[in-house]
């Protein structure tokens, strides 16, 4: 099964100029704790935004290119989705915008940090989705550097 993990703004802002829009320590901590020990899947641009491999996780990168560094490179997305969509193993889809859009139709769970702020400079967005298709369970609400946020688990009905 695939689970999405993302941090989004009021307009579903995800990134700008290859970087994250929001930097919230509690979100980073939640991300680390949720994904550690698991397979994480990301697009080539998100991979390039990282300082290197995320430790203690199997780093899988989707790209048409051959890259140095990831644990696994996937060229055929459909084949990868077919292999894992019905498996019991939880595979974490960690972005970015293109990858979330491709995985959303086959995702059973989303862990979303929703930040109550916008950024007009954002250039990458989470895909539009219908909240009525999911059951929301709030995991944590907080405020950091004037940024109010809610971390929720959304499970497909």
Is the CA virtual torsion 47, 51, 60, 152 positive or negative? negative
Which of residues 117 and 157 has its CB atom nearest to ligand NAP in the complex?
A: 117
- Answer yes or no whether residue 38 interacts with ligand NAP by CB under 6 A: no
Report in angstroms the alpha-carbon separations of 62 from 15, 43, 85, 122, 123: 18, 5, 16, 23, 20
What are phi and psi for residue 96, nearest 5 degrees? -95, -140
Least CB distance to ligand NAP at residue 42 (A):
6
Copy the structure tokens of residue 40.
């994480």
Which of residues 144 and 157 has its CB atom nearest to ligand NAP in the complex?
A: 144
Which of residues 64 and 137 has its CB atom nearest to ligand NAP in the complex?
A: 64
Which of residues 15 and 70 has its CB atom nearest to ligand NAP in the complex?
A: 15
- Answer yes or no whether residue 9 interacts with ligand NAP by CB under 6 A: no
Please say whether the beta carbons of 49 and 98 come within 8 A: no
Site string for ligand NAP, 58-77 (x = CB under 6 A): ----xxxx-----------x
- Answer yes or no whether residue 34 interacts with ligand NAP by CB under 6 A: no
């Amino acid at each position: 099964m695939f689970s999405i993990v993302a941090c989004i703004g009021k307009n579903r802002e995800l990134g700008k100029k290859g970087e994250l829009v929001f930097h919230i320590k509690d979100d980073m901590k939640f991300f680390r704790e949720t994904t550690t020990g698991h397979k994480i899947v990301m697009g080539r641009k998100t991979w390039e935004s990282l300082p290197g491999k995320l430790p203690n996780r199997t780093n899988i990168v989707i790209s048409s290119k051959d890259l140095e560094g990831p644990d696994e490179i996937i060229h055929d997305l459909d084949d990868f989705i077919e292999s894992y969509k019905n498996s019991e193993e939880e595979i974490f889809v960690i972005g970015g915008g293109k990858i979330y859009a491709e995985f959303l139709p086959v995702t059973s769970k989303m862990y979303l940090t929703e930040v109550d702020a916008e950024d007009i400079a954002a250039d990458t967005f989470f895909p539009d989705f219908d909240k009525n298709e999911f059951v929301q369970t709030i995991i944590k609400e907080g405020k950091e550097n004037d940024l109010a946020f809610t971390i929720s688990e959304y499970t497909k009905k």
